Amino acid sequence: MRMNNSAVHRLRTGLTADDPRLALGTAAGVAVLAGLLVGVLLGWLGPVLALGAVGGLVIGVLMLRSTEWGLLALVGLICLLPYGAMPVDIGFRPTFIDAVLLALFGVWLVRLVTRTERTFEASALGVPILAFLLWAVITFIAGLAHASLSATVLRRFLEALLAISLFFVAVNQVRSVRLLKRVTAVMILAGGLTGLLGLLFYVLPGPVTVSVLSKLAVFNYPAGAGLLRFVEDDPSQPMRAIATSIDPNALGGLLVIVTAVAVVQLFADQPVLPRRWLALMAGLMGLSLLLTYSRGSMAGLAVALGLVGVMRYRKLLLLLVAAAILILLLPPTQVYVTRLIEGLQGQDLATQMRFGEYKDAFILISRYPVLGVGFTGTPDIDLYLGVSSLYLLIAEQVGLVGLFLFLVVVVTFFVVTIRAWRRLPRGQAVEGYLLAYQAALVGALVGGIFDHFFFNIDFIHLVALFWLVMGLGVAAAQLASVEARASSGVGPAIADYP
């Protein structure tokens, strides 16, 4: 460490020397070394991997210095490169999200062990979440009795445990409005960029979209014509927006959360970004969500924003009415309206397939109601694991006991956040964040009636986003409680909160 400090001191002295020849020589030496390094990277890895390596190194160093950078990097990856994996094979290819999760928990645990951080905040949700995690481990082990364990399933299950535990990272690290604002702003900007990518890949010619997305194969993404998705997998039907999520329903699950956050912030008294930027980001995300043809996600967003409109921002209800009228009347949206009506009537193929999945899921749950069947497979040859419903999938894998614990967590979240919101003086900056994350979770829960992504170990980025949002909502509730006490004269203001 002393040698490194000495080298840095000599470098700083040379660059700031009064002698122009010494300063110029030092700068030239640094430039030559940097050029050699860049040249080696470009020659060895190629331009794409070299750029990724340099960017990853910089972000990695920043993440090891602070959990703030880890949270920001995680949000960006979830939105923009959810399946990206390192071009390194260690028996498997670890994803960038894996690396960020490990860095986040590693830095946080080091701070706890070294007493740099002296407190651990579990919150009212801590006990039910820990119980849910423990029950998931129990059911996972029990499920090994009837299905063999693969390295892939074990790795993804461990990733899911880390993703759920993100709640505790958010609650313990996001302890200031400043950091809450930064995470929220990055979420909205990354979500807006995802919406833009969804629209671009939708309007570009199919071969161009395939060519661009296939370049991500270096990061273990799929490639080829199969990237393009269509309604009911029929190329004669409308194409569906995919962005870099590839699966249009997974993109819908992502967008229902980030769009809810952006729209609520648009109506907040103290928005996280200028309103014109929020309107642009929300518009890009909303249009891209519409083009996913994910009816469950659209329903989730509508319910979430409607509830916030009833609770606080009445103008939001006018926006929802205007959007509904446009969707019903504009010619380009008539295909969507038709599919929505067919879905409500149970006439289209996708809905009929869902009904079949629901029927099979109820059979599985009735046979294994307490423990479920775990995460590795089913004990009966006439059953299969997987259903397009968050709640039924939870019941299949961790049983009705696990589903009960999950619902306890959700109910506790809304009790905590609604109480904090009611006590908070109107117009505070934290109110907009509190309502935004409440809306995001409502959207995910309503959308989860029709989709499974928020508890599917094959979509770890959405599992992580769900629990991160829950943690950010509770963090906002804690800050709201501080502000409520300060306004009543019984505590310090948020600015004094550690």
Residue 351 confidence class, pLDDT cut points 50, 70, 90: confident
In this structure, is residue 208 part of a structural domain?
yes
Question: Given this model, what pLDDT does residue 395 score?
Answer: 96
Is the pLDDT reported for residue 496 higher than 50? no
Which of 3-7, 219-223, 226-230 is predicted least confidently?
A: 3-7
Cβ within 8 Å of residue 9, ≥6 positions away: none
Tokens 């880890």, located at residue: 70
Q: What percent of the chain has pLDDT over 90?
A: 55
Least reliable range by pLDDT among 124-128, 289-293, 415-419, 484-488: 484-488
Q: Please give the residue that has the higher pLDDT: either 230 or 60.
A: 230
Instruction: Give the residue numbers spanning the domain of 406.
Output: 129-496
Residue of 166, 156, 13 lying closest to 85 (CA atoms): 156
- The answer as to whether 118 is a domain residue is no
| Cβ burial 30-45 (10 Å sphere, 16+ → b, else e) | eeeeeeeeeeebeeeb
pLDDT greater than 50 at residue 143: yes
Angle between helices 96-113 and 460-487 (to 10 degrees): 40
In a domain, 95, yes or no: no
**Over the stretch 33-42, which tens digit does the pLDDT of each residue have?**
544 544 444 4
In a domain, 300, yes or no: yes
Tokens of 98: 């894996």
- Comparing CA positions, the residue from 196, 291, 223, 202 lying closest to residue 252 is 291
* pLDDT value of residue 20: 60
Alpha-carbon span 303 to 459, nearest angstrom = 24
Q: Do the domain assignments include residue 396?
A: yes
Position 92 in a domain:
no
When pLDDT is averaged across residues 461-486 and rounded to a whole number, the result is 92
Q: Calculate mean pLDDT across residues 201-228.
A: 90
Q: Confidence class of residue 15 from pLDDT cuts 50, 70 and 90?
A: very low
- Sign for the pseudo-dihedral over CA of 469, 471, 472, 473: positive
Interval 363-406: pLDDT, tens: 999 999 999 999 998 998 888 898 999 999 999 999 999 999 99
Does pLDDT of 13 surpass 80? Answer: no
Q: What is the DSSP secondary-structure string of 291-320?
A: HTT-HHHHHHHHHHHHHHHHHT-HHHHHHH
CA–CA distance from 3 to each of 9, 37, 65, 148, 156 (Å)?
A: 10, 22, 20, 52, 42
Q: Which residues contact 384 (CB under 8 A, 6 or more apart)?
A: 360, 378
The answer on pLDDT for 435 being more than 70 is yes
What is the distance between the alpha carbons of residues 32 and 341, in angstroms, rounded to a whole number? 65
What pLDDT was estimated at residue 234? 85
50 occurs within a structural domain:
no
Average pLDDT over residues 433-443: 97
Domain count, the chain: 1
> What is the model's pLDDT at position 62?
54
pLDDT tens digits for 171-188? Answer: 999 989 999 999 999 999
∠ CA 394-399-402, nearest 5°, is 70
Asked if residue 52 is part of any domain, the answer here is: no
The predicted structure's pLDDT at residue 185: 96
Position 497 confidence tier, pLDDT thresholds 50, 70, 90: very low
Which pLDDT score, from 0 to 100, does residue 54 have? 47
Report the pLDDT value the prediction gives residue 45, as an integer from 0 to 100: 47
Q: Look at residue 309 in the predicted model and tell me its pLDDT.
A: 94
Q: Is the pLDDT of residue 207 over 60?
A: yes
Torsion-angle region of residue 372: left (phi > 0), alpha (psi -120 to 50) or beta?
Answer: left
In one letter, which amino acid is 233? D
